[in-house]
Amino acid sequence: MFEQEKRKIIETGIKIDRYGLIALSGGNISCRMPTGEILLTPSGMIYEELTEKDILVADINGKILEGKRRPSVDTLALIYIYSNMPKVNAVIHTHQPYATAVGLIADELPCILTTLANAVKGSVKVCPFSSAANIQMGKETVKNIGDKLAVILKNHGVISVGIDLKQALCACVYLEEAAKTYLAARAVTADIAQLTEKQIIEAVEVFNHYGQ
């Protein structure tokens, strides 16, 4: 079941690899179907090599309904996010280096680019450390994400969310671009120009109508 959506998960995986947000089989991609099932990438497989039959289907309690592969090690954390964020239909977890680097030196990536406001809706919080494959990763995400579309996981990576895979993908890609820009500026000065609250609201508003 859900062959088309499984294909979209694989294509999204190939994209996060292409954008340099993971190495080899790192991270995971998942999405929620309108009927409530969660589609998940398997553990430890290279995205380019995945086929539809490798994608798992789980229910909201994490019980595997379809698929023979071992589900992502972060399944408990992902299920926690879907259970506690009813509007979220897609979650992408990456190990993107620049955003993760910001998490080593700050508690938040300030909103310094219009594209960050567009795609993530503002500044991005750094969650306290939680070990991989632990439900705590999901709990910290839900606790810290607020009305934004991404969080940075300290010493680990990023979780982005969206109403669909496209929105979650935009969030982690533009977060990485903003993190790279922020670190380049921070290498020169600690005096970083940030967007004002009004400018952020305008940028969020513009993107709400973008492409419509």
- Give the footprint of Zn ion on this chain (CB under 5 A): 132, 157
The 3-state secondary structure of 117-171 reads: HHHHCCCEEEECCCCCCCHHHHHHHHHHHCCCCEEEECCCEEEEEECCHHHHHHH
Q: How many CB atoms lie within 10 A of CB 13?
A: 25
What is the closest distance, in whole angstroms, from the C-beta atom of residue 160 to Zn ion in the complex?
A: 13
State the CB neighbour count (10 A cutoff) for residue 189.
8
Q: What distance in Å separates the CA atoms of residue 18 and residue 44, rounded to the nearest whole number? A: 18
Q: Which is nearer to Zn ion, 10 or 22 (CB)?
A: 22
Q: What is the smallest separation between the CB atom of 46 and Zn ion, expressed in angstroms?
A: 15
- Looking at the Cβ atoms of 116 and 153, the one nearer to Zn ion is 153
Q: For residue 174, give the amino acid letter.
A: Y
Least distance to Zn ion, CB of residue 72, Å: 9
**Closer Cβ to Zn ion, 109 or 137, answer by number:** 137
User: Based on CB atoms, which residue is closest to Zn ion, 53 or 70?
Assistant: 70
Say which residues have a Cβ less than 8 Å from residue 48's Cβ, sequence separation at least 6. Answer: 13, 14, 17
Comparison of 122 and 138: residue with beta carbon closer to Zn ion: 138
Q: How far is the CB of 157 from Zn ion (least distance, A)?
A: 5
Q: Which is nearer to Zn ion, 106 or 132 (CB)?
A: 132
Going from the C-alpha of 150 to that of each of 62, 174, 191, the distances in angstroms are 22, 10, 24
Question: Shortest Cβ distance from residue 156 to Zn ion (Å)?
Answer: 6
- Beta-sheet strands, E only, within 45-89: 56-58, 64-66
78 C-beta neighbours (distance < 10 Å), count: 27
Q: How far is the CB of 77 from Zn ion (least distance, A)?
A: 9
